[in-house]
Structure 1
Amino acid sequence: MDETRIPVLIGAGEVVDRPAEPRLALEPAALMAEALRRAAEDAGAPGLLAALDSLDIVNSVSWPYGDLPAALAARLGGAPRRMVYGPVGGESPVRFLHEAALRIARGESEVSAVVGGEATHAVAQARKAGVELPWTEPDPNWRRTRGRDFLHPLAVRLGVADPVTVYPFYENAVEAHLGQSPAEGQAESAALWSAFSGVAARNPAAWLKREYDAAEIGTASPANRPIAYPYTKLQVANPMVNQGAALLLTSLAHARAAGVPAERMAFLQGGAAAVEPRDYLNRDHYHEAHAQNAVLDACARIAGEGFGICELYSCFPCVPKMAARRLGLPPGAVPTTTGGLTFFGAPLNNYMTHAAAAMLRALRISGGQPALLYGQGEFVTKHHAVVLSRRPAPGGLDEDYSVQAEADGRRGPVPEFAEAAEGAARIETFTVLHDREGAPEQGVVILRLEDGRRGLARVPAGDGAAIALLLRRERTPVGTPGRAVLAADGVTEWRLA
């Protein structure tokens, strides 16, 4: 094999920044520059950073830069010839890593990097203290790049248009599909998250370095308030962090010429990607994601012998629970080397860069079987995974890594959406939104009418019997019959029959 066309991951750098007061904190561009320097040092070849010719920057949200690539280039002493600022998506670091490897395999790049950083904690601290941060001049016209225009307006109106309020639809549907009671499903989530917290407690780059027991995670309390049923604060991604991470790749020939020790290297075996319909109301059901299944199946075929290490995206418990079952992992498996987005921290789109760094360290120690790095974005929407190993892919990397056709071929009929649903209706899946004091604000139900159409309805907090039904722990309310009626404001409400 031509060693100038064999991509290899040689270094990873991470920064966790917790100064005494926010004005001493590093801004995102500074976190990124430091992470890149640490990645080159980790490879044992600090001079490679000067040879960087391709840089993918993970979308950053915590500071309103007018030109983030320029701000980063200034700190690096110059911009590589290819410098791309990516779109929003939790899966994007995995995609950038995969595509960087393919560029090296095609001979388009010799030294590539992926980098990201967020300083949400410092920004929040500064706002609370009423102080200005001495960072790059903010852009007054900046706005978040992720809008909600692709979601149904009723989902936005009912407050189920953010990940923390949408993933519960999957959590509750998966639980019902498996035949679990809510108590059983929530106990599984709490035990899994407790294990994740233990991994984070041993990770030097983690934000929360404490192991939580399952009872603390699964029990609502003033310090662990309910957010969107069944999730409490300790079961959702924690974006209030100051963290940066970078990955450094080159060709095997270039790595050897730079003196990178062989024991520092890891190789991509391949990967896969697919997406679900962006509007989650346009999916056939909620107890699985066909794109997730197709991606994981493809990576299992690439690995062949199974995975020695797994990092399964963990914004909310349903994601690794679904993925672990698809992969056939044994009960009690802890599919993270990083610690998860609750405990390690969720630097918005950049968690998987940190996950790749942790996986590189784990591979250096373990060698052995291949490792799986699986990321997800939006609302169980975007899925990308790669397989890493201590040895090169025997036949090289496949340029066509899309498994979209496979995912689409598995999708069943999608129910027509009823704009103003009325009549007999059963619960397809649901959540209950809570206020900051932990009191129910309203339930939200995805429902199915007798004619098969799908609707979206609220359950007012004042309907105590219906809210109690949604929150019961001994038996799932999924499938419960009731009635959809139009309220005075024209919004459908679901009521007990």
Structure 2
Amino acid sequence: MTPDRIPVLVGAGEIVHRPAEPGLAREPADLMAEALRRADADAGAKAGSNLLASLDSLDIVNSVSWPYHDVPAALVAHLGQRPARLVYGPVGGESPVRYIHEAANRIARGESQVSAVVGGESTHAVAAAQKAGITLPWTTPDPNWSRTRGRDFLHPLAVRLGVADPVTVYPFYENAIEAHWGQTPAEGQAESAALWSAFSEVAARNPAAWLGRATSAAEIATPSGRNRPIAFPYNKLMVANPMVNQGAAILLTSLARAREVGIAEDRLVYLWAGAAAVEPRDYLNRDHYHGAHAQNAVLDACAGFAAAEEAAFETCELYSCFPCVPKMAARRLGLAAGAVPTTTGGLTFFGAPLNNYMTHAAAAMIRALRARPGTAALLYGQGEFVTKHHAVVLASRPPREHRLPQDYSVQAEADGRRGPVPEFVEAATGEATIETHTVLHDRDGQPHHGVVILRTADGRRTLARVPATDAATIALLKRPDRTPIGTTGPLRTAADGVLEWQAA
């Protein structure tokens, strides 16, 4: 491949904004524009060679914190220029990885010379302004604005039982994987807390992090006033923290253009290849909860690309909205016990700017690769409810075999691994066995109710509630020394028509 078709990541820009008062906060589009300028400066082109001025393709990560009528128009107003290709993407935590991959593909096809990916959120500022009763002087909000949530496409019974948001759905996977791996809940919780503590130490060294303080495993694992239980087994310090004001951008160009504008070779990062696949969107339509076929297919493919280049992943960023995600991915990749698969700090301690965390992760990865000449790394993102998976292999050296442009879908491989999916029913009688479970808590840390995914005697799947008044069954669901998965008990239909389950 000729240098004018070889894509390289050349610039990473980030901003974290902590105004003295809410009224001084910068809106998301402003953060995006500043991140793009910082990415351009980071590239280090020679004087008079402004790559940003030549930007011909820009992907904007879906922004949620402010109800814009037209996000691209707001960004253009703050940036002062409009690229020929300007695209605003859908919701998805994996989306920044996909946009970077697609930008590299466009450069490899000769469709773009200078591309960028950008995102920004000001969730903290919006919440602070609302609390203070301040009207923010930002782009006029759209009164008809809305966004898609899990409750818009998941099963109505899941919505009714309160398990239609990430923080209440990922525990189903967390509890299932621990049981599948032969861990007690206490052992699984200890692993999660140790991993999250290590992530917090990385965040503490990252100047773009929101919390940016090291936190001990004991503090993370122990419920407290600042670490209340949310959905078993997760405490607050184990879940993504969206209350941030952060923006990030990645700038890409061709190798030829990078050399033309004088960017030093040791600042270039190459995208070798990548892979993507999805799970069924409704999590009740999956064959099991102790893993994800799409995740495995994506990680296997990327490991194969690295092996073909005789490279190992010396650095990894494994998506970290909740502990089960990097724990599953690390095991699939065969990472050593105690490995810390982040360069960024994780969505709890670095911060979770909604769909845009992986743009920040790419920025941190670029810095890490520049500091490690000749090495390769994995950038893996996930979206929705263990649903959408996309990963790319990045390196601080060019590949021996150029694979871009690339059809990166491994969907057929993921689907081919899928087992039979049990029929889902809302009504059932008799005995049923726990497939996985969680317990939802009030803001005061007390159990509100439990939710169990069950298998009936004839193998069908159903969803049932455990009322907080059933203290014995709630205690069983939260028992630290033995998983309740596999426990059988009777079903009954409550007065409101919802199934309830009780330990036998």
Per-residue CA deviations over 1:187-209 (Å, capped at 9, x if unaligned) read 00000000000000000000011
8 A Cα contact 1:64 1:142, kept in partner: yes
* Aligned mate of 1:359, from 359, 365, 371: 365
> Which residue of the partner structure matches residue 180 of structure 1?
183
2:320 counterpart residue number: 314
1:375-454 alignment runs, 5 A limit: 375-393=381-399, 394-454=401-461
Q: In 2, are the aligned partners of 1:88 and 1:146 still within 8 Å (CA)? A: no
Alpha-carbon offset, residue 148 of structure 1: 2.7
| Deviation (angstroms), 1:391 | 2.0
1:90-489 paired onto structure 2 within 5 Å: 90-146=93-149, 148-304=151-307, 305-393=311-399, 394-489=401-496
| Structure 1 Cα separation of the partners of residues 164 and 455 of structure 2 | 20
Deviations 1:362-389 (A, max 9, x none): 0000123310000000000000000001
Q: State the 1:77 CA deviation.
A: 1.4
Percent of residue pairs bearing the same amino acid type? 77
Q: SS of the residue aligned with 2:423?
A: coil
Length-normalised TM-score, structure 1: 0.99
What SS class does the counterpart of residue 173 from structure 2 fall into?
Answer: helix
- Does the residue aligned with 2:352 lie in a helix, a strand or coil? coil
The separation in 2 between residues aligned to 1:76 and 1:359, in whole angstroms, is 25
2:441 counterpart letter in structure 1: H
**Aligned equivalent of 2:34:** 34
The alpha carbon displacement at 1:395 in A equals: 2.6
Q: Hey, what's the Cα distance between the residues in 1 that align with 2:287 and 2:28? A: 39
* CA–CA distance in structure 2, aligned partners of residues 180 and 349 of structure 1: 32
Q: What are the ranges of 5 or more consecutive residues in structure 2 without an aligned counterpart?
A: none
How much does 1:398 deviate? 4.8
Residue matched to 2:3 = 3
Task: Report the Cα offset of residue 150 of structure 1.
Answer: 2.1
Aligned partners of 1:236 and 1:342 also within 8 Å: yes
Find the aligned partners of 2:428 and 2:43 in 1 and give their Cα distance: 59
Secondary structure at the residue paired with 1:87?
coil
- Give the counterpart of 1:55 among 41, 55, 58: 58
Give the Cα–Cα distance (whole angstroms) in 2 for the partners of residues 399 and 171 of structure 1: 33
Q: Deviations over 1:124-165 (max 9, x none)?
A: 000000111111111111111345332110000000000000
Letter in 2 for 1:259: G
CA RMSD after TM alignment:
0.8
Aligned partners of 2:405, 2:212: CA distance in 1, in Å? 39
Select between 71-80 and 82-91 the one with higher mean Cα deviation: 71-80
Q: Deviations over 1:431-480 (max 9, x none)?
A: 00000000000000000001000000000000010000001100000001
Alpha-carbon distance in structure 2 between the residues aligned to 1:85 and 1:167: 27
Amino acid at match of 2:369: L
Retained in 2: the 8 A contact 1:431–1:470? yes
On the 8 A contact 2:374/2:397 being kept in 1, the answer is: no
Letter in 2 for 1:490: G
Residue 421 of structure 1 deviates from its aligned partner by 2.3
- Give unpaired runs (5+ residues) of structure 1: none
Taking the aligned partners of 1:477 and 1:487, their CA distance within structure 2 comes to: 22
Distance in 1 separating the partners of 2:259 and 2:217: 46
Native 8 Å contact 1:114 1:246 kept in 2: yes
Residue number in structure 1 paired with 2:14: 14
- Residue aligned with 1:366, SS: coil
Determine if contact 2:373/2:397 at 8 Å carries over to the other structure: no
Given that 2:150 and 2:164 are in contact with CA atoms closer than 8 Å, whether structure 1 keeps it comes out as no
Does the alignment pair 1:69 with 2:76?
no
Contact 2:103 2:252 in 1 (8 A): yes
Equivalent pairs, count? 497
Greater Cα shift, 397-406 or 8-17 = 397-406
Deviations 1:97-141 (A, max 9, x none): 000000000000000000000000000000000111111111111
CA contact (8 A) 1:308 1:368 kept: no
TM-score, length-scaled by structure 2: 0.98
